[in-house]
Amino acid sequence: MKSQTEIEAAVFRRLLEHLDSRKDVQNIDLMNLAGFCRNCLSKWMVAAASEQQVELDYDQAREKVYGMPYNEWKEQYQKPASPEQLEQFNKQQS
């Protein structure tokens, strides 16, 4: 039987695959609906690495989450947030 850590790692890899297959879903959409986004996952990855005394910087983590350098992903897939999306985001931050 697989260990819990192996199962959780497989689920995380599947989540990343799913997000990669849904590049149409913008980070602002994820933030507005779920309260986290790809960048949050990257930050959590950096924090988890640090807890394990593993060196991983934010750019490296984002490349793992996005499957490519963040600037490249941003150029190819990120759209400007609409005023409505920004309004919803700002309301949730209050």
77-93 pLDDT tens trace: 999 999 999 999 999 88
The string of DSSP letters for 33-84 reads HHS--HHHHHHHHHHHHHHTT----HHHHHHHHHSS-HHHHHHHH--PPPHH
- What domains, with CATH codes, occur in the chain? 4-72 (1.10.3340.10)
Q: Is the pLDDT of residue 2 over 90?
A: no
Q: For the chain, what percent of residues have pLDDT higher than 70?
A: 99
Give per-residue pLDDT as tens, 32-57: 999 999 999 999 999 999 999 999 99
Residue positions counted in the chain: 94
- Tokens 């996005």 belong to 66
Using CA atoms, how far apart are residues 27 and 30, in angstroms rounded to an integer? Answer: 5
